Chain A
């Protein structure tokens, strides 16, 4: 039983239960993957050619696994036999349809595109090919009508291998597994595992509203040095924030970044925000506004707007980052409101001297790495990285080498930083953090159960003869 099949439009592999192609978006509703996997190919009427014409043998495509179990190997077939219905239906399997036009219009039936690779063949009667609009007509165009006994060029195996070579993507998991062996996705019951995980997290979130977890999550090294670096900032220091995450990952990154931003506001730092993501600046404004209100209260927060400069969107990737290290005015000539940078006090001071600290907020490794490679060697300003949990391990070598002054990674890093602040939290904020901890703990329990449940049967089966 296959767990994937090819898209009839682009030929890419998709999961067996996919309704839309993951690559080109084609609706796959007419091609039921589950039907391909479970039901045998239906008998189709065969168009018998007249007996006086030598009937060409249509070649099968793909490895033997595409053929039904009752079919025989093509090499054993009598090539003089007419086409069977199963062979026609094999050709209609979507995974066997190569997309060699790549968006170009299909040529009329019977013609071969001039740039299509094809095998030289002797002059033979042209078979009746289906209509070019027929999605399966493509395959028939490649069914070289070469009688086996008269093929002077290539044998069956080599022809089959060549056709497979030109297919856009070879489908995965094609060969049916030996009896008794766990196939991809079946043993682990992926869908049930996902439902179980979701159900457990929902129950935990609803039940743990008032209860407090007994232990805090483990905090990896780097949080303490990050706290100490921010704590050592003088009053009114300029801090440049490289905002490298957008709303897609704000659910996690906000948890990690908010305590750090709140700490900077406590230190009365002047914040300059620059982002190389178009959605970075609005994400930054939202979080800083929320952190301001939590830290300072509504009234004071409105008065401190001048301490935030939205440097805006800086395109160009790694090539433009060095501008911020050499001469920030070159990289930030105007803020997002169109005001010249040098008229704004925080940026004016930034022009005269480098910032006291750089904070890189990133959900991936690349923005942190780029900053450490392109900017820090130029201005030697201390950098504190605030990253997603997935990014932490990749960035940690920079902490060990001293290039990073601190690293706050993952929701546990945010909680650890919050604990160091010694600031009383509101009831709602505290409940939010405790729900995160409880949800994580139980999610990992379910994850471990699923991993054990999946590996134990596999280990036992491996030992059995």
Chain B
């Protein structure tokens, strides 16, 4: 079994393989030049992805969680959620109202509706701010709380715990010194402007010290950027090699290739 196997009936697998092969070739034509085949493949990818998202959103989110409870309120869907103290009002009706409000306002806006014209439009556009505010507010609150509890505090505690242990082994001590030096120099390079370093009112030794310290931070940034770029290059090369393997080897293990071989062999007899 190869990564091409999808559990679909063989005829759909073969059709999917042919379509995937042709679209891969279309995308690779970008190597020669930008052309309509590349655009076609890109638009197909985006369109199919959006269409699939719409279908899956309806099938697995809206239909079971919103539409069915509305149509059959006695199916115990809401009550079946253990530990839930929310009523259908908060789980169904308010989200439905806010969602429809946002949807209608969005369509009106896309059609070029001007809130200057008509009191109904003004009210609509004004009320549509409410679901947007809820989305933005919830997202912001969740994000800030999560950043504090999941990133800032644990990372700060880890850095504080690591510290500079003067009685540690030489390797650990050197690591601590380097960490302190590179971190401080990078912060200095980012914060202090070059013109400020050239300020003649500062003593010469201070200018030299700050300039040298910032020089280390600049090189540290270059090194970090280079390392990150190398990792990104590695990731993209893995993708390229996998795609080339698809053309060179996986194609030959497909049913379509076997059919072609059988046809050519049978035609030659």
Contact = CB atoms under 8 A, between A and B. Distances in A.
A294 interface: yes
Contacts of B84: 327, 330
Given A198-B31, A279-B49, A440-B238, A342 B80 contact: yes
A286 B150 contact: no
B56 A278 contact: yes
B1 A293 contact: yes
B234 A373 contact: no
Nearest to B62: A315
Contacts of A206: 248
Contacts of B65: 333-334
Contacts of B10: none
Interface in B223-252: 227-228, 231-245, 248-249
Q: How large is the interface on B (under 10, 10 to 19, 20 to 34, 35 or more residues)?
A: 35 or more
Interface stretch (A55-63, A163-171, A399-407): A399-407
B155 interface: yes
B203 interface: no
A327 B236 CA distance: 38
A389 B43 CA distance: 28
Interface in B188-244: 227-228, 231-244
Given A334-B60, A373-B149, A319 B2 contact: no
A236 to B, nearest CB: 23
A289 B244 CA distance: 23
B146 interface: yes
B33 interface: yes
Given A338-B64, A390-B235, A290 B244 contact: no
A387 to B, nearest CB: 10
A352 to B, nearest CB: 10
A286 B6 contact: yes
B208 to A, nearest CB: 24
Interface in B145-187: 146-147, 149-151, 154-155, 157-158
Contacts of B34: 17-20
A443 interface: yes
Given A249-B239, A342-B80, A373 B3 contact: no
Contacts of B237: 201, 439-440, 443-444
B27 to A, nearest CB: 11
A315 B7 CA distance: 26
B150 A376 contact: yes
| Most A-side CB within 10 Å, residue of B64, B231, B236 | B231
Nearest to A443: B237
Contacts of B244: 201-202, 205, 439
A54 to B, nearest CB: 40
Interface in A150-173: none
A397 B236 CA distance: 23
Interface stretch (A44-52, A123-131, A251-259): A251-259
A410 B234 CA distance: 8
A373 B43 CA distance: 35
A252 B245 contact: no
Contact of A201 (B61, B233, B234, B241): B241
Contacts of B33: 17, 19
What does DSSP make chain B's interface, helix, strand, loop or mixed? Answer: helix
Interface residues of A, number: 75
Contact of A255 (B81, B157, B242): B242
B1 to A, nearest CB: 4
Interface in A278-323: 278-279, 281-282, 285-287, 289-290, 293-294, 298, 312-313, 315, 317-319, 322
Contacts of A397: 155, 158
Given A252-B238, A313-B60, A330-B81, A289 B7 contact: yes
A436 B241 contact: yes
B57 A278 contact: yes
A138 interface: no
Contacts of B235: 252, 388-390, 410
A101 interface: no
Nearest to B159: A401
B83 interface: yes
23 contacts: A18-B34, A19-B34, A205-B241, A205-B248, A251-B241, A286-B5, A287-B3, A290-B5, A312-B60, A317-B139, A333-B81, A334-B64, A336-B60, A338-B64, A376-B150, A377-B150, A393-B227, A393-B228, A397-B158, A401-B158, A402-B158, A439-B237, A440-B241
Interface of A: 17-20, 25, 194-195, 198, 201-202, 205-206, 249, 251-252, 254-255, 278-279, 281-282, 285-287, 289-290, 293-294, 298, 312-313, 315, 317-319, 322, 327, 329-330, 333-334, 336, 338, 340, 342, 351, 369-370, 372-374, 376-377, 388-390, 392-393, 397-398, 400-403, 410-412, 432, 435-436, 439-440, 443-444, 447
Given A289-B5, A342-B82, A390-B235, 10 more contacts: A19-B36, A205-B244, A279-B53, A312-B60, A327-B84, A336-B60, A372-B150, A410-B238, A432-B249, A440-B241
